[in-house]
Chains A and B, each alone.
Chain A
Amino acid sequence: MSKISKICILGGGTAGWMSAAALSSKYSALGYEIDLVESDQIGTVGVGEATLPHIRYFNRALGINEADFMQATEATFKLGIAFKDWGRIGDTYIHPFGDYGMPMEGLDFHQIWLKLRQMGLKTRLDDYAYPIIAAEQNRFKMPGEELNEIGSNFGYAYQFDSHLYAKFLRVYCEARGVQRTEGRVVDVTLDSLSGDVASITLENGHTIDADLFIDCSGFRGVLIEQALKTGYEDWSQWLPCNRAVAVPCEARGPLVPYTTASARKAGWQWRIPLQHRTGNGYVYWNEFISDAEATDQLMRSLEGPALADPKQLYFTTGKRRKLWHKNVVCIGLSGGFLEPLESTSIHLIQEGITALIEHFPVSHIDALDADEYNRRMDLNFERVRDFLLLHYVATQRDDSEMWRYFSAMQLPDSLRDKMDAWSRRGYVLEYEIGVFLPPSWIAVMLGQNLMPVGYDPRVNRYPPDKLFQFAEKIQTASAKAASETPTHIDFLTQYGAASKTAPLTAAPMHSQ
């Protein structure tokens, strides 16, 4: 078979332009012809506006200047996610990007805290996590060089306008030779021998052929599903929310360095603070709430006037049976949908791109690469699924049909084992492939009141005084580091990342 020379990316949302940016940068010397086909008539979903710290490495690999990017996308810094009303109504906790405390001679800090708590200590585990304290006080700074030092023991991500991010990347891509074609796909031709996608035809009759297609066409999966009939694994038995309504509004109050996810009776609501506006959305299960009611609840809860009409989305949680099938790799929503409760939408795009680059066809499309890509991405998706489901099942809520559905649910073994191990002794089952590390699991389990009955007995070899002193030192240092941290808005401005335009308003003032 001949070498790969033409790549066609179908779809120009976040997934499409991120893919195009990575491929055009990584393979700039190879002279690939990269076509990106998108249609202005088809809106992009752009639900993912909050990210995980890994996005920084993606941008850095592209050589993107951080302040420029933040300014262009109205981005804010993100230290974690605040979860409201998840364990019980009235509860709040922050899932931070960073560790709790520091290990003592190889023992995880939370084990020490669990023991001290049994001895009467009244502090929260959060009091030993710098990123939580900084987030609660609405402060931000960059981590320092020494990542083990209190005040530097955290990661950060962004909240940004994903449409602006796609636009930003489009400029980047076009400067690197990516050819953008406007149009809708009306026909897909398969190679009669191999069954590969040979070409796509647009409504103006224009035909684009390619050796490799990247399907970023969103939920519809124009190539991976409509053309190749790859099949979809439906996960709605575990994650049954199937609709969302999204609307931006005017920003009110201080600019906080975190996303908020508030549990509701039939789903949950997000709030994403950007510089020019606030993003809002309500993810729900239509079994227990009507679209109109969900929209009404969302609109009534907005902090400021809405900036657009609410946008309705329909989805089925799950993933494509094969994320790489024949000569089509699906990245983004065409590959699967997991509700954006933990900001994994853009992250899974990034995982897909990283895995694609590691297994990018060298001389031809090889089943070995596709199989390995699928094995790895399947693990990524499944582990995110378990983590999302954890939020719904580690809860004491039983105040609605939805919460009662979850409390009666038969959990996947992988998740059940993880929750058992934690509840018994604060032990976190670890894996290597997958985005959420033990501190993330601890944040959610503890934040939703899953308090272990025991702790790691190795803690008992230390005299309690030593443990108290150790904990106190970390608590003091964390509080001090937070108090010396500038406010989020001050840091953003001083960093050169502040937007040059005024925040959006619902009723723009008429010019005189």
Chain B
Amino acid sequence: MPEITTDLIVVGAGLAGAMTTLSLARHLGPDYRITQILNTDPVEDIFYGSVTAPSAYDFLRSIGLDEPYLFQSSTTSFSYGTLYQKWLDRPAWMQSHEQPFPIIDDVPLQHHLARSRQPLQPVLMAAQAAWNGRFAHPPQEPSSALSRAEYGYQFSPAEWCALIDDVLAELPVQRLFAGITEITRSDTSISHIHLSTGECLTANLVIDCSGPHRTCITAFGAAFQTERTLAAWTDIRPAPELGPPHRTLVSTQDGWSATTHLQSGGYVLNIADTEAPATPPSCAKIALGQLDLAWVGNCVAIGQAACVLEPLSPAPMMLLLRDIERLLELIPTANTAEMERREFNRRFQADSTHTSLFNRLFHLDRNMPQTAYWRAAAKAADSDLLNRKRALFQHRGVVIKYDLEPFNTEDWTILFHGLGYAPEDYDLQIENVPQAQSERHVAGLQSAIASTVSRMPPHPVYVRKMKTYFEKHTYA
């Protein structure tokens, strides 16, 4: 056996702790010793939301959680996105996951639509399938309309956490179910972690996944900037059959409510202001915001310990996966990790800022109720980066990009349209294509999508058949 050179301690149970520990176990070799301390009761995990973006597919596969396993061992289902059925005064729109928009006659699709003032939703493959409650895996051939659809998952955080715990039980990871009684530190590092069992641990790197408790990272004086505080509670609504491949969300007087369609039925997440009349006393509470530095000394914060975003979009899960990927890419090999720390913090700042921009757009400029939730959200929404993005879209329908943003041009375009932003002008490149020709192309695209949708199976049928297929083939 190769020598163990680096000791890693993951602090915290829950989704972040489980996913981080499993990722480390899968990606690192026997030169790393991994210990997880399950010291927290992760009630705040519901704030991760219940949908992922398409980026989850590769991530989950890379840690051994492929679809046969996910669908057979949990009530996970597919997600083409979120239906904002009623967001304030806006008509419903499907915030779907799409491949890059096609370029027709050398001009991007959105300019064709803008000139003719045609709606976006009918030319979105994933959105149309979702509206119709149908699902199929995208094929390899790029010529098929279906290949333009992207998908993520609808899931229950508690279920995924339990599922990963089962996997971890089989892996060479030390797991300690104990509380932390004391953390001793020097100026630059955590030297010892004392457990309620009397054990005392040392590590090269401590990975704080303790959610809003921030058990270790705050020991170094990392400051968490609180933006506002939210309450959340969930309802389970068992259903005889799986619902559509999308989450459904409506805004309320004091926040919003989203129904995720799992194999076991509806999973309802309610978000509201902590003081709102409907907020039950037993709710979970969390402060949105982020750390100034996510890696201090020999301690790095992952997930909610580093940044808490509202699960209004897949943003919290996108950021969690990015946190873990960033950690894997920069996992230190020895005690000194100056370069890793600097780079991790640089990327953390960029990722958390960029991810939060998307959520902020929901809370700008609309006719919002004068309640605590909406007032606080609107106040937090102001951002120069977002204002620039919004101004350019309103001006001419373009989505400007910052470096390596997690939400892509398609996500933004759909959201701007959904929220009712209408560009003042359209791009003049389109004038090279005669309008009739352009409208023919768009009509052709719409009908190809409609015809594809009509041939797709309903989501529950697809999942049932897929599972039967998995069962017949030995995936266990």
Partner-B contacts on A (CB < 8 A): 26-30, 61, 105-106, 357-360, 362-363, 366, 368-369, 371-372, 376, 417, 420-421, 424-425, 427, 429-433, 454, 456-462
Contact = CB atoms under 8 A, between A and B. Distances in A.
Interface in B323-354: 328-331, 333, 339-340, 342-343, 346
A360 B431 CA distance: 13
Contact of B391 (A357, A368, A421, A462): A368
- Identify which of B395, B396, B401 gathers the most chain A CB atoms within 10 Å of its CB: B396
12 contacts: A30-B431, A61-B106, A357-B429, A359-B398, A368-B391, A417-B339, A420-B339, A427-B330, A432-B401, A432-B405, A457-B28, A460-B28
B28 A372 contact: no
B95 to A, nearest CB: 23
A218 B333 CA distance: 50
B31 interface: yes
Contacts of A360: 427-429
Nearest to B328: A458
B71 to A, nearest CB: 23
Contact of B395 (A369, A376, A432): A369
Contacts of B343: 417, 421, 427, 429
Interface residues of B, number: 39
B388 interface: yes
A431 B432 contact: no
Interface in B1-44: 2, 6, 27-32
B196 interface: no
Residue among A372, A454, A457 having the largest count of chain B Cβ atoms under 10 Å: A457
Interface string B96-117: 0000000000100000000000
A26 B395 CA distance: 20
A432 B404 contact: yes
Contact of A362 (B333, B428, B432): B428
Given A26-B432, A368-B392, A427-B339, 11 more contacts: A30-B431, A360-B429, A417-B339, A427-B329, A429-B343, A430-B404, A432-B403, A457-B32, A458-B28, A458-B29, A458-B331
Nearest to A371: B388
A503 to B, nearest CB: 37
B333 A372 contact: no
A115 B180 CA distance: 38
A462 B2 CA distance: 12
B426 interface: yes
A461 B429 contact: no
Nearest to B405: A432
B159 interface: no
A354 B330 CA distance: 35
A371 B425 CA distance: 18
A27 B432 contact: yes
A29 B105 CA distance: 14
B427 A433 contact: no
B345 to A, nearest CB: 11
A433 B28 contact: no
Contacts of B426: 362
B62 interface: yes
